[in-house]
């Protein structure tokens, strides 16, 4: 009886007859949850396992084989697009000097939203109000930089009106965003308008403009299911596409795309941070970089992946020097996830007097821009500006903590503050793209009623 499960079965009026687990009074069926300790898988933290099964799980975890297969690819370079901050620089210096150190000794360079909020709450009321004033002043200096450009091209009209067979799920909200991205690409000159717009068939490779477009490869970053690329292929005759996505999805557009005559498609299941695009052997000639809603730092990783000079400095034999960026169109989103380490234009922020800590505060404020539907009120408030300084002056004597000041702000003021922080972050990205020799613009590519995440970076590399 000592090795039997001690769980009492009331209907049978006896104890369970199964053998108990080692170190427990119960069998596997009746072991109380309180005795089970689950820990994140060290290979893939997206799932957890029982601590007692950890060693055995690591040997058979599917993520291990996936990671090993990925690391064997020539285009895998750990952290090649990640960027650096003070912590990484210290680590690099210590490593070069062969000085041993414990990583926990160095403060983590990636902050959670909770850590960002806690840092803001530690500010005094005066410091927080000064930060509000600085943000407002910076935004006023380039508010006219961001234009509105809701552009639905003729090439997409028949697709949107369901006059052609669509082989992927259709949601109007997302389709309008995809179409406007393509329309802005056409407007800046990186997509050729198909010759046969308005006729009964979709674009083919017979026309001169279609030939130019179909000879260009397209790399979609953060591709998800690949629906943006699918519309691009259907409406503009693109014939060679690369889909970069670290996650696995059902209902992907890949199967439908592969049915297209002459279509070459390659899905790269890899984190953008680790992708050396110039080491993808099959990517040759001009290519376009696109992305719809690249969350937080993914935009910075993508820009660094496509435009940073670091790839050409590696000197690896596998590097493909024949591929060149023709243009890009990246819809940004989720600015609250941005990190100083990854941000592409730290020099821009520093030139404005924005410190690392203030940048992280700005990223936290951006969540206020999308936490509710404000409609036309938000546009009007943005036009007339914030009134934070006067508000602080009115209640400064009664407000003692930064947290209380933020709580007392009007919802509309919070939304406006979040919106202008988003714009400052994206303007920095715009300036960096221009510094790389590209003709670039930052636009609001759809009305906020369709999506409050409506910023698009579009750029063309004219020669």
Which residue, 285, 129, 114, 145, is CA-closest to 215?
Answer: 285
Q: Using CA atoms, how far apart are residues 347 and 153, in angstroms rounded to an integer?
A: 36
> Is 133 a residue whose pLDDT tops 90?
yes
Over range 255-282, report the average pLDDT.
Answer: 92
> What are the CB-based long-range contacts (under 8 Å, 24+) for 315-320?
316/279, 318/74, 318/279, 318/281, 319/276, 319/278, 319/279, 320/278, 320/279, 320/280, 320/281, 320/283, 320/284
Is residue 211's pLDDT more than 60? Answer: no
Span 175-195, pLDDT tens digits: 999 999 999 999 999 998 887
Domain-wise residue ranges, the chain: 1-36, 140-460
Q: Supply the mean pLDDT for the chain.
A: 84
Range scoring the smallest mean pLDDT among 10-19, 95-104, 144-153, 393-402? 95-104
């Amino acid at each position: 009886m000592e090795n039997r499960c001690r769980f009492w079965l009331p209907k049978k009026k006896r104890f369970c007859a199964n053998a108990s687990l080692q170190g427990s009074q119960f069998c596997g069926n009746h072991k109380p949850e309180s005795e089970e300790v689950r820990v994140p898988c060290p290979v893939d933290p997206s799932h957890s396992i029982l601590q007692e099964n950890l060693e055995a799980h690591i040997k058979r975890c599917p993520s291990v084989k996936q990671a090993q297969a990925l690391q064997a690819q020539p285009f895998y370079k750990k952290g090649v697009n990640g960027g650096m901050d003070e912590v990484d620089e210290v680590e690099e210096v210590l490593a070069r000097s062969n000085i041993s150190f414990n990583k926990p000794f160095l403060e983590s360079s990636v902050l959670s939203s909770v850590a960002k909020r806690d840092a803001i709450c530690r500010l005094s009321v005066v410091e927080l109000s000064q930060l509000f004033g600085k943000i407002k002043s910076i935004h006023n200096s380039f508010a006219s930089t961001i234009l509105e450009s809701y552009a639905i091209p003729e090439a997409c009209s028949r697709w949107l009106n369901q006059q052609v067979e669509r082989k992927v799920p259709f949601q109007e909200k997302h389709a309008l965003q995809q179409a406007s991205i393509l329309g802005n690409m056409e407007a800046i000159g990186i997509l050729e308008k198909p010759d046969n717009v308005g006729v009964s068939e979709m674009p083919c490779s017979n026309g001169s403009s279609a030939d130019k477009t179909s000879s260009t490869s397209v790399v979609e970053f953060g591709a998800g299911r690949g629906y943006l690329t699918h519309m691009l292929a259907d409406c503009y005759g693109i014939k060679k596409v690369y889909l970069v996505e670290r996650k696995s999805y059902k209902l992907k557009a890949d199967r439908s795309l592969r049915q297209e005559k002459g279509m070459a498609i390659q899905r790269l299941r890899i984190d953008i941070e680790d992708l050396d695009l110039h080491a993808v052997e099959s990517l040759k000639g001009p290519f376009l970089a696109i992305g719809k809603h690249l969350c937080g730092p993914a935009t910075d990783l993508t820009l660094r992946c496509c435009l940073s000079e670091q790839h050409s400095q590696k000197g690896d034999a596998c590097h493909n020097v024949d591929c060149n960026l023709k243009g890009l169109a990246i819809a940004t989103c989720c600015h609250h996830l941005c990190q100083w380490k990854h941000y592409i234009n730290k020099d821009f922020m520093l030139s404005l007097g924005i410190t690392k800590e203030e940048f992280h505060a700005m990223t936290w404020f951006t969540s206020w821009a999308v936490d509710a539907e404000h409609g036309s009120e938000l546009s009007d408030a943005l036009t007339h500006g914030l009134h934070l300084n006067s508000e602080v002056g009115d209640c400064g004597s009664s407000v003692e903590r930064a947290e209380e000041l933020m709580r007392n702000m009007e919802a509309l003021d919070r939304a406006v503050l979040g919106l202008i922080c988003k714009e400052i972050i994206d303007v920095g990205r715009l300036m960096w793209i221009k510094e790389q020799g590209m003709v670039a613009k930052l636009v609001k590519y759809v009305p906020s009623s369709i999506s409050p995440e409506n910023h698009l970076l579009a750029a063309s590399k004219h020669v």
